[in-house]
A and B are shown apart, each in its own frame.
Chain A
């Protein structure tokens, strides 16, 4: 596999499949997903809980919980090498050194019985071969970079002595300590307050720019994506349903799910609407996905073909891709579509019918 032609991307995920065996059957959490991250750019994986975005990141890091979970297929090419083929020893040299991860819950992902300093110096000593003194100097340096004041004193403290925002800065400091090429940030600000969220995201953006590190940001927050991402992948039920530049996705969504998400959130810069415009129905049960498009049961634009055959991800113009049989007509049809004020959660089949007849 190592002789495979490199695509030029820093990380190139191809046809990734990650499965979990559960009491209810096999869950295809990530079901044949391909995407890439180029050096220095910020790419977003967006979707709701259970769509497979976090499992994608864990698959890259080789952290999918066994034995219930396993990567069942595909390739994860990092600088041209397939991470899935690497022995664990090699993977350990990449994890934390070349690819770093920032998790959502800084409290549960920091070690509560190690000093903050040790959690940074450990990585520097192991990955970079630093001496104790060098590692300490590096730790102070990165703490300063992420805006933690009084770094020398802070090094001797424990995570519980840090506030939520400070802990997330600490996670970022640890991630940056070995100057990685790629940072996987899984909901890095979801647990934080809005004013702190803005600080942390600005910090990440600024640091990844000055370090030249690429960032994969995993989130459900469409506002965060709009503010920080260059390119966006929208996931639903284990698949990518739409991909494009942030501008393409927001200005001209070509998948009904993306369109529905954007329409359902109230925006501060728009006049207040009488009622919101929700997506009908509930998120899918991954053990019982429909045969065709997984979004079809909730989709206002679904046609017969959607229920029979899953649509492939294909271009709707240049680099903008959508996995939808009606993607080409979506702009006209969504302009005509009624603005439902539904609050019912049972799927109104009449709406789907209207979609067909139009």
Chain B
């Protein structure tokens, strides 16, 4: 990846690896097996942009986000945020960085504490990080945050069970904003919401990005939403980066056969368009990350695989300016 101005980069992930040992080691176990959730992933995010990270369940997109948040310790690799490698920081230093990197979770039902009011949930992060030390000022700030995410001030005393799904996700967003972060990891922020509410939340995220110059890593499986919100898009498959490029290039000219299949699988809400469409339906299923295939991890399902694909693991190489693909046939 060529990065014209290095200081423009807010986050760089280099060769990120996260392996989870499973089973084994016990009385009857052999050597522990390893789930290669993330297996050598690299990308950078520029300040103020949205990088979409897409892929199917088990591809490692959520684990990548969790490693950036240091909710998981990477097995190896570097997570460089504003010039500092987070993997080398002490717990005290991590706490300071956490303020600048926040997260919005998928499920607004399980990610809010059911025994705290909306006001308490927004107050706490500001108190913990000492952002607004004075209690009265914090109360004022909570009201501001509610207004920013489109909630009425009267919501302050409500508990999560009194809120709809869309309202809860707004609270989750307000909580992320409370620490004045520069980077927000959005982990499937709309996929648990009703269709009619999803667009509201997507618009809100876009407006907030403009207003506060936020940077997003937008982790999602819905390719239509990702196209709408992202400046660049990264596609993962079985722990590896398959393709990474500008939004326009990825959707107009996907180079990786997996990206092509993924795009063709998305149904378009128009029966006439659907009737005319040529589709590639992928055979088979995503193999287990416990025992990924040798060579290119996609070769068993790939419609254009050749013998060479079974041998060497393809590099995610730059084939055009700013367009990286892990496919020897691209």
Tell me the complex Cα distance, A48–B192, Å: 11
**Which of B84-92, B134-142, B174-182, B279-287 lines the interface with chain A?**
B279-287
Tell me the complex Cα distance, A302–B84, Å: 55
Q: How far is the CB of B221 from chain A (nearest CB, A)?
A: 7
Q: Flag whether B93 is at the interface (Cβ < 8 A).
A: no
Known: A193-B286, A196-B285, A266-B224. A345 touches B200 (CB 8 A): yes
Tell me the complex Cα distance, A165–B203, Å: 33
Which residues of chain A are near B263, meaning CB under 8 Å?
268
Q: How far is the CB of A221 from chain B (nearest CB, A)?
A: 7
**Which of A23-31, A127-135, A223-231, A308-316 lines the interface with chain B?**
A223-231
**Which of B71-79, B118-126, B265-273, B289-297 lines the interface with chain A?**
B265-273
Q: Flag whether A63 is at the interface (Cβ < 8 A).
A: no
Q: Judging by beta carbons under 8 Å apart, are B228 and A227 in contact? A: no
| CB-based nearest A residue for B151 | A345
Q: Judging by beta carbons under 8 Å apart, are A166 and B194 in contact? A: no
Q: In the complex, how many residues of chain B place their beta carbon closer than 8 angstroms to a beta carbon of chain A? A: 50
Known: A283-B194, A343-B150. A278 touches B223 (CB 8 A): no
CB proximity to B under 8 Å, residues A78-114: none
Q: Judging by beta carbons under 8 Å apart, are B196 and A195 in contact? A: no
Q: In the complex, how many residues of chain A place their beta carbon closer than 8 angstroms to a beta carbon of chain B? A: 52
Contact of A193 among B170, B198, B221 (CB under 8 A): B221
Q: Judging by beta carbons under 8 Å apart, are B262 and A195 in contact? A: yes
Q: Flag whether A198 is at the interface (Cβ < 8 A).
A: yes
Known: A195-B56, A198-B279. A264 touches B150 (CB 8 A): no
Q: Judging by beta carbons under 8 Å apart, are A265 and B57 in contact? A: no
Q: Judging by beta carbons under 8 Å apart, are A266 and B203 in contact? A: no
Q: Judging by beta carbons under 8 Å apart, are A345 and B150 in contact? A: yes
Q: Judging by beta carbons under 8 Å apart, are B225 and A278 in contact? A: no
| CB-based nearest B residue for A222 | B269
CB proximity to A under 8 Å, residues B193-234: 194-204, 206-207, 221, 223-225, 227-228
Q: Flag whether A197 is at the interface (Cβ < 8 A).
A: yes
Contact of A194 among B194, B201, B265 (CB under 8 A): B265
Q: Judging by beta carbons under 8 Å apart, are B150 and A279 in contact? A: no
Q: How far is the CB of B196 from chain A (nearest CB, A)?
A: 4
Q: How far is the CB of B6 from chain A (nearest CB, A)?
A: 29
Tell me the complex Cα distance, A275–B204, Å: 10
**Which of A152-160, A210-218, A244-252 lines the interface with chain B?**
A244-252
Q: How far is the CB of B315 from chain A (nearest CB, A)?
A: 24
Which residues of chain B are near A247, meaning CB under 8 Å?
271-272
Which residues of chain A are near B195, meaning CB under 8 Å?
48, 220, 222, 261, 264-265
CB proximity to B under 8 Å, residues A257-285: 260-262, 264-269, 272-273, 275-280, 282-283
Q: Judging by beta carbons under 8 Å apart, are B207 and A343 in contact? A: yes
Q: How far is the CB of B161 from chain A (nearest CB, A)?
A: 12
Q: Judging by beta carbons under 8 Å apart, are B285 and A163 in contact? A: yes
Q: Judging by beta carbons under 8 Å apart, are A202 and B285 in contact? A: no
Contact of A345 among B166, B268, B282 (CB under 8 A): B166
Q: How far is the CB of A202 from chain B (nearest CB, A)?
A: 6
Contact of A279 among B196, B225, B265 (CB under 8 A): B196
Q: How far is the CB of A285 from chain B (nearest CB, A)?
A: 9
Consensus secondary structure, chain B interface: helix
Contact of B267 among A165, A227, A346 (CB under 8 A): A227
Question: What 1/0 flags go to B225-269 for Cβ under 8 Å of A?
Answer: 101100000000000000000010001000000000111111111
Q: Flag whether A49 is at the interface (Cβ < 8 A).
A: yes
Tell me the complex Cα distance, A258–B203, Å: 20
Tell me the complex Cα distance, A262–B263, Å: 19
Known: A266-B225, A345-B167. A250 touches B270 (CB 8 A): yes
Which residues of chain A are near B227, meaning CB under 8 Å?
266, 268, 272
Question: What 1/0 flags go to A31-72 for Cβ under 8 Å of B?
Answer: 000000000000000001100000000000000000000000
Q: Judging by beta carbons under 8 Å apart, are A269 and B268 in contact? A: yes
Q: Judging by beta carbons under 8 Å apart, are A250 and B271 in contact? A: yes
Q: Judging by beta carbons under 8 Å apart, are B203 and A341 in contact? A: yes
Q: Judging by beta carbons under 8 Å apart, are A344 and B266 in contact? A: no
The 29 sampled A-B contact pairs (Cβ below 8 Å) are: A163-B285, A194-B56, A194-B221, A194-B266, A195-B261, A195-B265, A197-B265, A198-B282, A222-B195, A224-B267, A226-B270, A227-B271, A251-B270, A261-B195, A265-B224, A266-B228, A267-B269, A269-B268, A272-B228, A272-B247, A276-B199, A276-B228, A278-B197, A278-B198, A279-B196, A282-B197, A283-B194, A343-B200, A346-B150
6 nearest CB pairs, A to B: A223-B267, A278-B199, A193-B56, A276-B199, A343-B204, A222-B269
Known: A226-B269, A282-B164. 20 other contacts (CB 8 A): A48-B195, A165-B285, A193-B57, A194-B266, A195-B56, A198-B267, A223-B268, A251-B272, A264-B195, A272-B228, A272-B247, A273-B228, A276-B202, A278-B198, A279-B196, A279-B199, A282-B166, A282-B197, A342-B200, A342-B203
